[in-house]
């Protein structure tokens, strides 16, 4: 197992303080605030550990305050409903005596039923795309130092963008690119054979690149210094079983941006075309004021 994946599993392996109270830590990756996907994944882990015989099928979350990576995060779970088929949990993440994140999650027993899905977009397979070394060479020179330091280290999630040109400089006056982005994702090492772990790993990864899609028509990126970006809310629906350590296509689009907020949604497919999850998110995409 890759060292970064071992660290991811350790990050998701919360310490139980009490029946419905858990504590999580942040890895030392040099960020000034906690990565939003980490809080989503840890909150889902906390909720999962209070539910038996049911699988998560949806979560809805709000980011309230930036997380401090230097101190632990306490997760308080409220078991607000346990029915015959469904269970509902509310989770609040706390630091420095204040709520920094809140989430509701729903769980269901396995059931058979009607089945249909949207078709997967026709895009190149991950092995037909540039390798990570080539992507680093072309993209990292444009990143700010903090983002570059993160991408230079070993990471738990491998990304292979289909539209790599989205990050490259474009000629003045060029037609805006459409607000669509496709990226293949998977963990960089094998995960245990437990669906809840794969669900939580995907929850972690689902916060990656989604907000950035809303900046594509404007020729900007979350890696640019003039953009202040932050996730505001996040929703995830889990449709079918999958493995997060196998390639998944994250197909993203942004129908709207306004009021310094960008709205994006995504569909996640296995490489054989099964739709396994859907995501929606709104985030802050504020232009920083120039100093002086």
Active site residues: 207, 231, 281
DSSP 221: -
217 closest CA partner among 264, 251, 263, 177: 177
- SS3 labels along the chain: CCHHHHHHHHHHCCEEEECCEEEECCCCCCCCCCCHHHHHHHHHHHHHCCCCCCEEEEEEEEECCCCCCCCCEEEEEEEEEECCCEEEEEEEEEECCEEEEEEEEEEECCCCCCCCCCCCCCCCCHHHCCCHHHHHHHHHHHCCHHHHHHHHCCCCEEEEECCHHHHCCCCCCCCCCCCEEEEEEEECCCCCCCHHHHHHHHHHHCCCCCHHHHHHHHCCCCCCCCEEEEEEEEEEEECCCCCCCCCEEEEEEEEEEECCEEEEEEEEEECCCCEEEEEEEEEEEEECCCCC
- Cα of 72 vs its chain's centroid, Å: 20
């Amino acid at each position: 197992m890759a060292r970064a994946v071992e660290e991811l599993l350790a990050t998701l392996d919360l310490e139980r303080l009490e029946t419905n109270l858990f504590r999580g830590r942040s890895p030392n990756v040099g960020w000034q605030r906690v990565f939003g996907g980490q809080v989503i994944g840890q909150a889902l882990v906390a909720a999962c550990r209070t539910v038996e015989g049911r699988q998560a099928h949806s979560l809805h979350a709000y980011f309230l305050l930036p997380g401090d990576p230097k101190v632990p995060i306490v997760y308080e779970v409220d078991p607000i409903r346990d029915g015959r088929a469904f269970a509902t949990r509310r989770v609040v993440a706390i630091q420095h005596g204040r709520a920094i994140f809140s989430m509701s999650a729903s769980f269901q027993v396995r059931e058979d039923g009607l089945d249909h899905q949207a078709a997967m977009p026709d895009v190149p397979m991950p092995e037909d795309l540039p390798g990570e070394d080539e992507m680093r060479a072309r993209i990292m020179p444009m990143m700010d130092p903090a983002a570059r330091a993160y991408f230079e280290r070993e990471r738990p999630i491998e990304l292979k963008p289909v539209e790599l040109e989205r990050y490259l400089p474009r000629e003045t006056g060029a037609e805006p690119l459409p607000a669509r982005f496709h990226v293949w994702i998977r963990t960089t090492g094998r995960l245990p054979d437990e669906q809840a772990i794969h669900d939580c790993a995907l929850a972690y990864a689902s916060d990656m690149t989604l907000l950035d899609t809303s900046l594509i028509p404007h020729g900007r990126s979350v890696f640019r210094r003039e953009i202040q970006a932050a996730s505001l809310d996040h929703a995830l629906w889990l449709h079918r079983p999958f493995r997060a350590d196998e390639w998944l296509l994250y197909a993203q689009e942004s129908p709207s941006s306004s009021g310094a907020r960008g709205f994006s949604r995504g569909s996640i497919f296995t490489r054989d075309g099964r739709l396994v999850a859907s995501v929606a998110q709104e985030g802050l995409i504020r232009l920083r004021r120039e100093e002086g």
